[in-house]
């Protein structure tokens, strides 16, 4: 009977996963902004054999070339390129499920994948041909491979991730230091060395000088904000740090709430490898936060949510999935975890069906009012829809209903585990047996 019950849960959850991937595949795609620059870089390289000197890394456009060629067979190159990040995310989820089975129970991994698909910032990022998703996925897989002693492959992925998004270099480097000290092996330091080579080589190819990055004197418009229009690492570290963590429209507290869950709430049921893995992910997030806290555009420009911190969605989702089967000794933890679960689903749903709707006013007058969507709750992308009201088309309504169904299923699963301490011991044990 237990086998049949677990098998039924698995079937339902894989159904949710497949359906969620279909919804993401059918969601909108946007070719403007930075996407257009990267698409132009691919076309320039393929059609003219010319390297386009954009300030963004060319690594992601280079890796998307096979997708471009497949699209050219149908005369739909841009359409296929706009699915590149979706393809990368699907591949990452498949590989991580297979590779993490010795770290976590498969039940936890299924919930993790559900949360990434329905309840994370990935729902919005797959709509663009931007570079953050590519780096986040490579970084995540690279960490897994390093911990599984596949150092060569892991270092290559880590280097590609940091080469594509240099802002994550510090986080990756701190991870290498942590793993080196933990395992007394320092072969993972190949990763930062390769990443630096990639960054310097790309600078030379584009500008003829390894020290020119394309970001020299890069800055925003002058607005009422006291540190606006200053270039580079000009933002006060303290203000950048608390803004990245707590601001209503960009803060990780709201968009990746899972990383703020106390360690003791989810670490009890984990093995040594999973402990090391989650610590590694959190160390990387800390490094990324430290790097961007002084960057003038810590908020990621006019974009939904904390753009540069997409990687944090991986540990946030995995921690939340793990928290459902940890210590069951108090009533506070279950209530908080359920609230975090609901907020996370709202982040995912908001990202895929609402985005930055009704916020176009901030682009006028040289983004003079953009700070409102960073700091003021009423203008946050997460809360403004409750003021303006939700105007949804048929597809949006279907997705809303389906997401709510998945949320209710997850709440049921979480309650079954988290409130186990209220059940008789025999029943509680039967509900927490490992899956067959």
| pLDDT recorded at residue 251 | 98
Tell me, yes or no, whether 208 and 235 share the same domain.
Answer: no
DSSP state of 188: G
Query: Would residue 312 count as lying in a domain?
Result: yes
Residue numbers of the domain that contains 196: 131-214
Judge whether residue 284 has pLDDT over 80.
yes
Query: Would residue 301 count as lying in a domain?
Result: yes
| pLDDT recorded at residue 426 | 41
CA distance 127 to 135: 16
Reading the block at residue 246, the tokens are 């707590």
Last residue of a domain, one of 188, 214, 240: 214
Mean pLDDT of 345-372: 92
Work out the burial of residue 394: count CB atoms within 10 Å of its CB; fewer than 13 is exposed, 13-18 middle, 19 or more buried: exposed
What is the per-residue pLDDT across 133-142, written as a single tens digit (0 to 9) for each?
Answer: 999 999 999 9
Nearest-5° angle of CA 427, CA 430, CA 435?
A: 155
Tell me, yes or no, whether 236 and 358 share the same domain.
Answer: yes
Mean pLDDT of 268-273: 87
| pLDDT recorded at residue 326 | 58
What is the per-residue pLDDT across 100-139, written as a single tens digit (0 to 9) for each?
Answer: 999 999 999 999 999 999 999 999 999 999 999 999 999 9
Q: At what angle do helices 2-26 and 106-118 cross, to 10 degrees?
A: 20
DSSP state of 70: H
Tell me, yes or no, whether 172 and 240 share the same domain.
Answer: no
- Give the total residue count for the chain: 436
| pLDDT recorded at residue 415 | 85
Confidence of residue 431 (pLDDT cuts 50, 70, 90): very low
Last residue of a domain, one of 161, 181, 214: 214
Query: Would residue 315 count as lying in a domain?
Result: yes
Work out the burial of residue 332: count CB atoms within 10 Å of its CB; fewer than 13 is exposed, 13-18 middle, 19 or more buried: exposed
| pLDDT recorded at residue 328 | 59
Query: Would residue 77 count as lying in a domain?
Result: no
Q: Output the CA torsion sign for 12, 14, 20, 26.
A: negative
| pLDDT recorded at residue 100 | 97
Confidence of residue 186 (pLDDT cuts 50, 70, 90): confident
Judge whether residue 23 has pLDDT over 90.
yes
Tell me, yes or no, whether 241 and 161 share the same domain.
Answer: no
Reading the block at residue 374, the tokens are 């960073």
CB 205 within 8 A of CB 52: no
Tell me, yes or no, whether 292 and 166 share the same domain.
Answer: no
Mean pLDDT of 1-16: 83
Tell me which residue has tokens 């590989």.
95
Give me the number of domains the chain comprises.
Answer: 2
CA distance 241 to 290: 7
Tell me, yes or no, whether 207 and 287 share the same domain.
Answer: no
Q: Which of 263, 265, 288, 242 is nearest to 140 (CA)?
A: 288
Residues 6+ apart with CB under 8 A from 20: 114, 117, 118, 406
What is the residue-averaged pLDDT of the chain? 91
| pLDDT recorded at residue 419 | 67
Tell me which residue has tokens 């979480």.
414
The region of weakest confidence among 57-61, 260-264, 266-270 is: 266-270
Tell me, yes or no, whether 304 and 160 share the same domain.
Answer: no
CA distance 376 to 361: 15
Higher pLDDT, 183 or 87: 87
Query: Would residue 79 count as lying in a domain?
Result: no
What Cα–Cα distance (Å) separates residue 82 from each residue in 27, 78, 125, 284, 308? 11, 6, 11, 28, 19
| pLDDT recorded at residue 420 | 57
Tell me, yes or no, whether 394 and 247 share the same domain.
Answer: yes
Judge whether residue 427 has pLDDT over 50.
no
Query: Would residue 76 count as lying in a domain?
Result: no
CA distance 369 to 24: 31
Tell me, yes or no, whether 202 and 258 share the same domain.
Answer: no
In terms of DSSP H, where are the helices of 293-331? Answer: 313-323
Residues 6+ apart with CB under 8 A from 297: 220
Phi, psi of 30 (to 5 degrees): -125, 130
What is the per-residue pLDDT across 189-218, written as a single tens digit (0 to 9) for each?
Answer: 999 999 999 999 999 999 999 999 999 889
The region of weakest confidence among 52-56, 315-319, 408-412 is: 52-56
Query: Would residue 166 count as lying in a domain?
Result: yes
Tell me which residue has tokens 């679960």.
341
Judge whether residue 430 has pLDDT over 50.
no
| pLDDT recorded at residue 424 | 47
Reading the block at residue 269, the tokens are 């049921």
How many C-beta atoms surround the C-beta of residue 101 within 10 A? 11
Last residue of a domain, one of 155, 187, 214: 214
Query: Would residue 90 count as lying in a domain?
Result: no
Judge whether residue 429 has pLDDT over 60.
no
């Amino acid at each position: 009977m237990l086998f049949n019950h677990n098998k039924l849960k698995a079937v339902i959850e894989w159904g949710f996963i497949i359906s969620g991937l279909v919804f993401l595949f059918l969601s909108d795609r946007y070719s403007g902004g930075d996407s257009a620059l990267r698409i132009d870089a691919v076309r320039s390289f393929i059609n003219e054999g010319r390297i386009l000197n954009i300030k963004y890394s060319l690594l992601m456009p280079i890796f998307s070339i096979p997708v471009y060629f497949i699209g050219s067979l149908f005369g739909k190159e841009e359409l296929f390129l706009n699915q590149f990040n979706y393809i990368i995310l699907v591949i990452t989820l498949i590989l991580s499920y297979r590779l993490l089975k010795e770290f976590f129970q498969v039940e936890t991994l299924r919930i993790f994948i559900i949360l990434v698909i329905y309840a994370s910032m990935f729902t919005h990022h797959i709509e663009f041909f931007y570079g953050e998703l590519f780096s986040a996925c490579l970084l995540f897989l690279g960490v897994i491979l390093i911990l599984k002693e596949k150092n060569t492959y892991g270092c290559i992925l880590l280097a590609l991730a940091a080469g594509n998004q240099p802002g994550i270099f510090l986080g990756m480097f701190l991870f290498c230091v942590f793993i080196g000290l933990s395992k007394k092996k320092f072969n993972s330091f190949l990763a930062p060395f390769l990443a630096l080579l990639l960054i310097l080589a790309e600078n030379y190819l584009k500008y003829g000088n390894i020290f020119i990055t394309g970001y020299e004197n890069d800055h925003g418009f002058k607005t009422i904000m006291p540190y606006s229009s200053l270039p580079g690492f000009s933002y006060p570290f303290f203000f950048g740090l608390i803004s990245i963590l707590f601001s209503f429209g960009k803060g990780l507290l709201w968009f990746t709430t899972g990383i703020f869950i106390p360690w003791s709430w989810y670490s009890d049921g984990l093995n040594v490898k999973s402990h090391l893995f989650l610590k590694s992910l959190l160390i990387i997030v800390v490094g990324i936060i430290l790097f961007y806290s002084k960057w003038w555009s810590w908020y990621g420009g006019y974009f939904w949510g904390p753009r540069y911190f997409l990687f944090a969605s991986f540990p946030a989702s995995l921690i939340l999935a793990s928290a459902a089967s940890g210590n069951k000794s108090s009533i506070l933890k279950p209530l908080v975890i359920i609230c975090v679960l609901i907020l996370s689903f709202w982040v995912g749903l908001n990202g895929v069906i609402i985005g930055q709707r009704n916020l176009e006013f901030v682009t006028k007058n040289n983004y003079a009012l953009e700070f409102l969507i960073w700091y003021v709750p009423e203008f946050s992308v997460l809360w403004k829809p409750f003021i303006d009201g939700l105007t949804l088309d048929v597809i949006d309504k279907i997705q809303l209903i389906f997401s709510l169904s998945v949320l209710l299923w997850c709440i049921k699963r979480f309650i079954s585990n988290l409130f186990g301490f209220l059940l008789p011991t025999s029943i509680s044990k039967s509900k927490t047996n490992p899956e067959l």
